[in-house]
Amino acid sequence: MRPILIRGGRVIDPSRGGDGIADLLLEGDRVSAVGRNIGEPDGAVVIDAAGMVVAPGFIDLHTHLREPGQEDLETMASGAMAAAAGGFSAVCAMPNTDPVTDNQAAVGFIVGQAQRAGKARVHPIGAISVGQKGQQLAEFGELVGAGAVAVSDDGKPVMSSHLMRTALEYARTFGIPVADHCEDMTLAQGGAMHEGLVSTRLGLKGIPSAAEEIMVARDIILAELTGGHVHLCHMSTRGSVELIRRAKEKGIRVTAEACPHHFSLTHEACEGYNTNAKMNPPLREAEDRAAVREGLRDGTIDVIATDHAPHHYDAKEREFDDAPNGIIGLETALGLAVTELVDGGILTLPEMIDRMSTTPARIFNLPGGTFATGAAGDVVVFDPAVEWEVRPEDFFSKSRNTPFRGRRLRGRAEVTIVRGEVVFDRAKGAPNGARR
Amino acid sequence: MTIRTELLDERAIARALVRMASEIVERCRGTEDLVLVGIQRRGVELAYRIKRLIDKVEHGNIPCGKLDITLYRDDLQTIGPRPVVGETRLPELDDKTVVIVDDVLYTGRTVRAALDECADFGRPRRVLLCVLVDRGGRELPIQADIIGTSVSTTEADRVDVFVSELDGRDVVELVRGAE
Amino acid sequence: MTPALGKDLVGLEPLSADQIRLLLDTAEPFKEVSERTIKKVPALRGKTIVNLFFEASTRTRISFEFAEKRLSADTVNVAASGSSVSKGETLVDTAKNLEAMRIDMVVIRHGSSGAAQFLGQRIASNVINAGDGKHEHPTQALLDLLTLRDRFGRIEGLKVAICGDVLHSRVARSNIWGLTKLGAEVGVCGPPTLLPRNIRDLGVTILPRIEDAIQWADALNILRLQLERMQSGFIPSLREYNRVFGVTSERLARAPKDLLILHPGPMNRGVEIDSDVADGPHSVILPQVTNGVAVRMAVLYLLAGGMPGPGQAAGGEER
């Protein structure tokens, strides 16, 4: 395996506060050195990163890879490739596949498929309950032993407070977070979008912000009760952000993520019954979007996660009520973060990288997120200034369901390196030679 | 360039209507079973004027109705800038001698539509057509029985009829090269 | 000149006041057609119209059918069942099949909000919304407006209270749009569980109790309590609803003016409206039905006619 020398880029390492023009050397599958004018070792691959930003590879704590069960929407291979193209060196795969990742063999399958794909790392997330049915606790020990990094019933909430409490307590044994999809089903049931003026005008049943906030409050209280680590998925409302802020002030072990669509769009994107704006939790009001952005700024919301949810165009090409929830996000996340948050004056570039790499690694205890010597050789080289148009046909993901078609964004990954090997190089196009 | 010529002034129109009224009575051999039906919009005004002339001479009160043919046109696409359909109100038509009154006879399509519509209301014994101006240019085999005046025109021309009830003045004008 | 209505009638929200007035004015001569012995004009002769009803509705479907037949169109009724998911053929496929059969117009009633617009965007035929989910029911609102105009001579300045399950009602939404655009004052009255939280943002007043509505309004539009739409209990019982919100003759007797009573039908007698009110002198429920056919004829006629022809001078019409 050849060493890789990345030369002359702006190297940003939020874990150690580093930010300056420097060279980065990877040897084996590790970070070997960061500094100025590093000598080129024999046989090294040299990457000219002038004008680029060199950061620890992004880590997505919330992705849906659809394999096993719905390989026509996405596979481990296509998803890992899409992740790499988006600058992600690692993703965490949610367990709501078919069958559900609720046992050792299923976790092992994901690990094996990811290795075969050889692109971004895929860390499996195991289910909280068997079959995600919300009744019986899954075997956390077995899941972790096979490689799971967290547990979640995402796709669904854990409606039973007793089950959530038990999960938080039991997960402490293995030091893993319990990630919850916060939604009170009795309030949300049948809802297709945010309950507000737009839903009233369109005649669609709405999901009130309260449906999310009630569960956020409950999870925080249970985290306090049990001393466990609860990770709150895809936060979307100002009430949720406020609850998390208070909880952190009290020192409760809660972490939270927000998705690019929740810091970019509002429920107005649903006008005209646009099913590509339908997801759960739904797009909310402008004040909610502002609160999410502020939450990312002051650290109340720890990380940016994509909730990448592939769907077939056929499935989205139907009446709004019947269309499935979710949009893809791996290949637009960086562009949206730069355009909306950095250009929007909410985050600096180092802060953005922190939310997308350093902090995800830290809170889920994953390799990467840092350029300390000996750290995992996961790097993203991205152009923070290049303007590009979102064309879903060019995506590496198998699916095309995004509301950002035609949008011009700034910021795009150029080279992604995982375990010291280049897994994505935009200049060279796709593995099969096609230019993207 | 368009050239506007006056075909009939106010007095000429009045004289023509008097003659047409008496022709109608003559052709129908009296006013028994006689019904006038004016085509919206100016045909209606002319029909009422003719009715008053006939009533005065014959000391009677002949029935007079109004017909809007918009819904019977054979060209749904050219509804026109004011697509609102006017009023249709007809007296009994069965077994009557119906005289359809219109201002201008040109292609004949309006009269064809009027005949179809009348047929939906009843079965006249006989139908006659009375027009103020016959400008030629028939596209259907339709003829007027009582005519105010005839003029030869081309496709590029237009005949404008103005009646005081709607337009504030009585005049018939020929506009050459109107397109 | 009133701008053309476009290809489809999806709702009243996108229309201007002028366009709504055009529809009402065009309905007038069609009222007369329904009074003739031969209730037919050849205006839409040769046009094929499909009534695509995904929800059972005898009343609206028959009204449209009469409207179509009285315009001499050829009509076909398709009773499709349920949503794409349950019936197996997607709405997209249904739409494409209809287009392949060269249908001129489709009248669609569907359980999902947005279905009419969805269809209209995918086929070239005219699409008329006969009720989509909870979104709009434009022809119902138009006939309500026509009925109000018949009685009061105007819409502007009228006070109309819409009473009942506004949350789930497409009739309510279309009426709110039509009435506010034509300058009426709109109030809504019902239990808070059945009023959308943001309803005031649409320009309507909330009247907390039915007595308030009766005091305030010139006309009441009483909505059917939609049992089939309530996914869970928004009210404890029908009996309680009638006792607290029902329009009864005792309550009506205390009205300061001669209140007009409208109802889109079908009625739940003894629930939202008492029989003696429905059959009483203030009720215009049957004239609503008559106007319904005329309004639907006007809609079909104006949409089928497409763009008005190039401007034609007065007196210069084809003879």
Residue A62 and residue A50 share a domain: no
- Give me chain B's average pLDDT, please: 91
In Å, how far are A101, C12, C26, C117 from A271, measured between CA atoms? 36, 16, 31, 11
- Residue type (1 letter), B53: L
Question: How many domains, chain A?
Answer: 2
Residue A94 and residue A108 share a domain: yes
Report the C-alpha gap between A343 and A290 in whole angstroms: 15
Average pLDDT over residues A400-411: 96
What digits encode the pLDDT tens for the residues B149-167?
A: 999 999 999 999 999 999 9
Residue A337 and residue A201 share a domain: yes
Does the pLDDT of residue A55 top 80, yes or no?
A: yes
Paired strand residues for C76: C50
pLDDT of residue A276: 96
pLDDT of residue A371: 97
Is the CB of residue C46 less than 8 Å away from at least one CB of chain B?
A: no
- Asked if C263 and C273 count as a contact pair (C-beta separation under 8 A), the reply is yes
What digits encode the pLDDT tens for the residues A87-100?
A: 999 999 999 999 99
Cα angle at A413 between A412 and A414, to 5 degrees?
115
Q: Which CATH number fits domain C138-288: 3.30.365.10, 3.40.50.1370, 2.40.160.60, 3.40.1210.10?
A: 3.40.50.1370
Chain C positions touching A273 (Cβ under 8 A) are: 113-114, 117-118
Which residues, other chains included, contact A78 with Cβ-Cβ below 8 Å and sequence gap of 6+?
Answer: A396, A397, A398
What digits encode the pLDDT tens for the residues A130-148?
A: 999 999 999 999 999 999 9
Does the pLDDT of residue B72 top 80, yes or no?
A: yes
Does the pLDDT of residue B178 top 70, yes or no?
A: no
Residue A356 and residue A393 share a domain: no
Answer whether A272 sits within 8 Å of C170, measured CB to CB: no
Q: In chain C, what percentage of residues exceed pLDDT 90? A: 68
Which CATH number do you get for residue A390? 2.30.40.10
Answer whether C318 sits within 8 Å of B106, measured CB to CB: yes
Answer whether C113 sits within 8 Å of A272, measured CB to CB: no
A208, closest residue in chain C (CA to CA): C197
Residue A255 and residue A202 share a domain: yes
Question: C138-288: same fold as C17-136+289-305?
Answer: yes
* Chain A and chain C touch, per 3+ beta carbon pairs within 8 A: yes
Does the pLDDT of residue C67 top 50, yes or no?
A: yes
Residue A30 and residue A10 share a domain: yes
Domain limits, chain C: 17-136+289-305, 138-288
By C-alpha distance, which of C124, C107, C125 is closest to C116? C107
pLDDT of residue B130: 97
- Give me chain A's average pLDDT, please: 95
Tell me the pLDDT band of C87, cut-offs 50, 70 and 90. Answer: low
Q: In chain A, what percentage of residues exceed pLDDT 90? A: 95
Residue A97 and residue A38 share a domain: no
How would you list the strands of the sheet with B158-162, edge to edge?
Answer: B3-8, B171-176, B158-162
Is the CB of residue C229 less than 8 Å away from at least one CB of chain A?
A: no
Chain B positions touching C40 (Cβ under 8 A) are: 120
Select from A319, A320, A321, A322 the residue whose CB has the most chain C CBs within 10 Å, as the one to mutate to test that interface.
A319
Q: At which residue do the structure tokens 């075909």 appear?
A: B7
Domain that holds residue A395: 4-54+376-428
Paired strand residues for A193: A206
What digits encode the pLDDT tens for the residues A159-206?
A: 999 999 999 999 999 999 999 999 999 999 889 999 999 999 999 999
Tell me the pLDDT band of B40, cut-offs 50, 70 and 90. Answer: confident
Which CATH number do you get for residue A142? 3.20.20.140
Inside any domain, residue A284: yes
With residue B65 as reference, give the H or E element that holds it.
strand B64-67
Answer whether A201 sits within 8 Å of C202, measured CB to CB: yes
Average pLDDT over residues C15-29: 94
Does the pLDDT of residue B112 top 70, yes or no?
A: yes
In Å, how far are A225, A230, A309, B61, C145 from A165, measured between CA atoms? 8, 10, 28, 96, 57
Q: Could you say which of C13, C111, C113 has the minimum Cβ distance to residue A204?
A: C113
pLDDT of residue B79: 52
Residue A213 and residue A316 share a domain: yes
Does the pLDDT of residue A323 top 70, yes or no?
A: yes
Answer whether C197 sits within 8 Å of A203, measured CB to CB: no
Chain C positions touching B76 (Cβ under 8 A) are: 43-44, 304-306
Q: At which residue do the structure tokens 């023509």 appear?
A: B16
Residue A394 and residue A347 share a domain: no
What's the CATH code, domain C17-136+289-305?
Answer: 3.40.50.1370
- Residue type (1 letter), C311: G
Is the CB of residue C73 less than 8 Å away from at least one CB of chain B?
A: no
What digits encode the pLDDT tens for the residues A234-255?
A: 999 999 999 999 999 999 999 9
pLDDT of residue A277: 96
The domain boundary, picked from A338, A364, A390, lies at: A364
Inside any domain, residue A434: no
A346-350, A370-374, C303-307: least confident range: C303-307
Cα angle at A344 between A338 and A346, to 5 degrees?
90
Answer whether C43 sits within 8 Å of B72, measured CB to CB: yes
Is the CB of residue C90 less than 8 Å away from at least one CB of chain A?
A: yes
Domains, chain B, ordered by start: 3-76+86-176 (3.40.50.2020)
Average pLDDT over residues A284-289: 98
By C-alpha distance, which of A290, A169, A185, A177 is closest to A230? A177
Per DSSP, A301 falls in state S
pLDDT of residue C211: 96
By C-alpha distance, which of B61, B58, B17, B15 is closest to B35? B61
Per DSSP (E only), the strands in A221-316 are 230-232, 254-258, 303-304
- Asked if A188 and A129 count as a contact pair (C-beta separation under 8 A), the reply is no
Report the C-alpha gap between A198 and A193 in whole angstroms: 9
- Asked if A237 and A288 count as a contact pair (C-beta separation under 8 A), the reply is yes
Beta pairing, strands B3-8 & B171-176: antiparallel
Report the C-alpha gap between A177 and A215 in whole angstroms: 17
pLDDT of residue A216: 98
Rounded to two decimals, the ipTM of the complex is 0.84
Per DSSP, C43 falls in state G
| pTM above threshold 0.95 | no
Residue A149 and residue A112 share a domain: yes
Report the C-alpha gap between B89 and B172 in whole angstroms: 27
Chain A positions touching C118 (Cβ under 8 A) are: 273, 318-319
With residue A82 as reference, give the H or E element that holds it.
helix A76-85
pLDDT of residue C96: 83
Show which residues of C are catalytic: 59-60, 87, 109, 137
- Give me chain C's average pLDDT, please: 88
Cis ω before C266 (30° cut-off from 0) = yes
Chains that touch C (3 or more CB pairs under 8 A): A, B
Residue A394 and residue A261 share a domain: no
Is the CB of residue B179 less than 8 Å away from at least one CB of chain C?
A: no
Inside any domain, residue A371: no
Residue A190 and residue A100 share a domain: yes
Chain C positions touching B109 (Cβ under 8 A) are: 318-319
